[in-house]
Amino acid sequence: MGSIDKFNLPSSMRALEYSSATNFSVVNKPLPQVRRHDVLIQVKACGVCGTDVHIHHGEFGAVFPLVPGHETVGVVAAFGEEVEGFTIGDRVVADNSEVCASCHYCRRGQELFCEKFVAHGVMVDGGFAEYAVYPAHRVFQFRSDTLSDADATLLEPASCAAHGLDKIAPKMGSTVLIFGAGPTGLVLAQMLRENGGCRTVIAAPAGKKMEVAKSLNAADEFIELPRDKEASVATLAKLKSDNPYGFDIVVEATGSAAILEQSIDYVTKSGKLVVYGVYNDDDMVKFSPNKIFKEEITILGSFSQTYKFPAAIDYLTRGRVAVSGIVNKTYKLEQWQECLDAMANKTVIKAAIVFD
Ligand SMILES: [Zn+2]
Ligand SMILES: [Zn+2]
């Protein structure tokens, strides 16, 4: 403890804790220990994403007992004696990853693939609690009068989108087609438009997500795919015939292997196909190697991020990327089951756990 005593902290906190897969409860537990180089965050909001559903089922490398939550937003409540540059009450967002700095990949500057990667909210306790602790160099201050705590939970997904942008390296004047209107797709669409995309098209099923996509003005054009299979095939055929040369960049952001397989047909010669969804481990796709060879198509993946929080903060706090409405439902810790049900029924676009 030592220097931490000087901060005015309660002796315990409420947290959503899993004892094992699917077994969770709201518990009272001691605050996390603050090491010399840590910042303790009083959590205001923590985003919920598909990963948390996998964790609920014990997948994704979850280590129990566990407090999940990896999109933590809050204010600085305390910090260790080695920490500089933070003030109590600063609004902050946390990067949930800790890397070892010494493995094969870390030594090559590829920390994304760290072999001793520790993910807060997956392997150690995260943000579904009143307090959460992170190393200071993984905590980022931000100021905004317009970005709410719930909306700021999109800073983590936006960091992943910013990393995706680095991978895609779009050329000035690119045409872009994005399949899917989920939270990260909507952020990536706007970043692409801000960075070389001159015509951005989002194709996704008609519904809530598409409405938000439109309200955010996330693209130049919106292609609503009817729920009816036959009608959807016809809409896609029209998209194809309206764009006979295809698109410079095609992003598959739905996580459907079937859509990924079709996506390549919309890529122009010398274009890029971006694999940007979360797929099932046993999914397989079939591409014509001759198409990739003769048309010089690049297929690239992008799944997480390193060092992109500052960029994400600039985009979101300056309104260059709009996110309002993506988080369309907030829950208290005690409503976790309700939140899981809403995720399963797809009645939420993105949820966040909030505290007050
Ligand atoms: Zn996530
Ligand atoms: Zn490493």
One DSSP character per residue, 217-248 reads T-SSEEEEEPSSHHHHHHHHHHHHHH-TT-EE
Give the pLDDT score at 280. 86
Give the distance (Å) from ligand 2 centre to CA of residue 355: 34
Give the pLDDT score at 6. 85
Task: Please name the residue that has the structure tokens 């709410």.
Answer: 148
Give the distance (Å) from ligand 2 centre to CA of residue 85: 26
Residue 311: phi, psi to the nearest 5?
A: -65, -45
Give the distance (Å) from ligand 1 centre to CA of residue 121: 10
Give the distance (Å) from ligand 2 centre to CA of residue 32: 24
Of the candidate ranges 35-39, 277-281, 286-290, the one whose mean pLDDT is the lowest: 277-281
Give the distance (Å) from ligand 1 centre to CA of residue 94: 12
Residues of the chain with CATH 3.40.50.720: 158-301
Give the distance (Å) from ligand 1 centre to CA of residue 97: 12
Q: Are 137 and 36 in contact (CB under 8 A)?
A: no
Residue 180: phi, psi to the nearest 5?
A: 110, 140
Q: What is the pLDDT of residues 100-157, one digit of tens each?
A: 999 999 999 999 999 999 999 999 999 999 999 999 999 999 999 999 999 999 999 9
d(CA 275, CA 255): 8
DSSP 18-30: EEETTEEEEEEEE
Give the distance (Å) from ligand 1 centre to CA of residue 51: 5
Task: Please name the residue that has the structure tokens 């410079």.
Answer: 248
**Across the strands, what pairs with 202?**
178, 222
1 pLDDT more than 80: no
Distances (CA, A) of 119 to 1, 57, 141, 185: 24, 17, 20, 23
168 pLDDT more than 60: yes
Nearest ligand to the CA atom of 115: 2
CATH number of the domain at 2-154+326-354, please?
A: 3.90.180.10
Give the distance (Å) from ligand 1 centre to CA of residue 228: 30
Give the distance (Å) from ligand 1 centre to CA of residue 221: 27
Q: How confident is the model at residue 227 (pLDDT cuts 50, 70, 90)?
A: confident
Q: How confident is the model at residue 28 (pLDDT cuts 50, 70, 90)?
A: very high
Average pLDDT, the chain: 96
Residues of the chain with CATH 3.90.180.10: 2-154+326-354
Domain 158-301 has CATH 2.60.40.1220: no
Give the distance (Å) from ligand 2 centre to CA of residue 98: 9
356 pLDDT more than 90: no
Report the chain's C-alpha Rg in angstroms: 21
Give the pLDDT score at 171. 97
Give the distance (Å) from ligand 1 centre to CA of residue 13: 23
Give the distance (Å) from ligand 1 centre to CA of residue 4: 30
Q: How confident is the model at residue 278 (pLDDT cuts 50, 70, 90)?
A: confident
Cis, peptide link before residue 135, omega less than 30° from 0: no
Give the predicted TM-score (pTM) of the model: 0.94
4 pLDDT more than 80: no
Name the residue type at position 351.
A
Highest mean pLDDT among 4-13, 37-46, 274-283: 37-46
